Amino acid sequence: MSGNMVTPAVLDCGHAPTPLGSATSGIGTPGFAKKAGTGDTMCYSCADEHERAVMRTSRCVVAYLSGDGSTITTWTGGTLATVDPADRRQHGQRQYTPSGGSWTRHVWHATDPHGGRWYGVNDGPGMAVRLRRVRA
């Protein structure tokens, strides 16, 4: 949020902006989210619900892997999916680039609240992850 931006008292979702340090905000900052395309404003709880609803029809989503590797979350910390127990304590696999660089590759499998199965690859816990729906 820029310094000249005015925070509305009531958002388009009908709630007040999420307060600083609230239990529903994992990021520790007050504010609100905006829907892409429409610009509608919503509190972090409603934004998390919106992201879970989007997952019902999406084939690919970008989210975050929690620091302990147990859940896939929104940027505010709302749970989107649960990581399979077998993937939670993986050490990753060293990968090499054509130019000689290297990185550690982690593969994740998760289940969303609707029973949808997802997989993704990233650098490890606490990092962003692009998830793709697993075909049945």
pLDDT of residue 135: 82
Which residue is listed with tokens 């690919």? 60
Domain borders along the chain are 1-55, 58-133
Structure confidence by residue, pLDDT tens digits, 36-79: 888 888 888 899 999 999 999 999 999 999 999 999 999 888 99
Least confident stretch, 50-54, 84-88, 89-93, 104-108: 89-93
Which tokens sit at 73?
């979350």
Nearest to 66 by CA among 81, 54, 48: 81
Long-range Cβ contacts of 121-127 (<8 Å, 24+ apart): 122/65, 124/65, 124/69, 124/92, 125/65, 125/66, 125/67, 125/68, 125/69, 126/64, 126/65, 126/66, 126/67, 127/64, 127/65
